Amino acid sequence: MSEQEREALIAKYKDGYRAVADALAGASDQELDARPAPGKWTAREIVHHLADSEMESALRLRRLIALDTPTLQGYDQDEFSRRLHYDRPIHASLDAFRAARSTTGDLIDRMKPGDWQREGVHTESGRYSAETWLQIYAAHAHNHAEQIRRARAAGKG
């Protein structure tokens, strides 16, 4: 990955919370709870997923930087949504998402070029570097912001 590509991904990562907050602006409970299709997540469920995923991703990056060849545990996001009460209010989850993004953004600003080459092993996808992490999580919030917009549209009926 070139330095320019990395910088673009970092900027996108740092913009992730704004993208999600914009997608949620003015959402009613009806819009938050609308299921766009059977088996698809509601906007509310997506927000809770983002909080859980972001906290996990923040720890993954820290392990990649601080530990030699760490094992990064995968998790079942659908099981999380079933067991972690994704029907609850979203405010605390939005705060957790924002805080994890912010503190990780601060860490990213201090990473050296060699830090991006550090690797571990993900239990589901295998070899996993800090650059891999950035490629995944730079797009993650933006992808879910689009999902939130589609879910909200289903609630506007």
Query: CA nearest 96: which of 137, 52, 60?
Result: 52
Cα–Cα distance between 151 and 21 in angstroms, integer?
14
**Which tokens sit at 79?**
């099981």
**Which tokens sit at 114?**
């060699």
pLDDT at 154: 87
Torsion sign over Cα 2, 73, 92, 109 = negative
pLDDT at 15: 98
Yes or no: say if 70 and 133 are a contact pair by the CB < 8 Å rule: no
pLDDT at 1: 86
Cα–Cα distance between 143 and 153 in angstroms, integer?
16
In words, the CATH class of domain 3-122+149-155 is mainly alpha
pLDDT at 142: 98
pLDDT at 116: 96
Query: For 28-76, where are the alpha helices, taking DSSP H only?
Result: 29-33, 43-66
pLDDT at 157: 63
Yes or no: say if 49 and 80 are a contact pair by the CB < 8 Å rule: yes
Beta-strand relationship, 126-129 and 71-72: unpaired
- The secondary structure of 72-99 as a DSSP string is E----HHHHHHHTTTTS-SHHHHHHHHH
The domains of the chain are located at 3-122+149-155
* Per-residue pLDDT tens digits of the chain, which is 157 residues long: 899 999 999 999 999 999 999 999 999 999 999 999 999 999 999 999 999 999 999 999 999 999 999 999 999 999 999 999 999 999 999 999 999 999 999 999 999 999 999 999 999 999 999 999 999 999 999 999 999 999 999 877 6
Yes or no: say if 92 and 145 are a contact pair by the CB < 8 Å rule: no
pLDDT at 122: 96
- The secondary structure of 142-155 as a DSSP string is HHHHHHHHHHHHHH
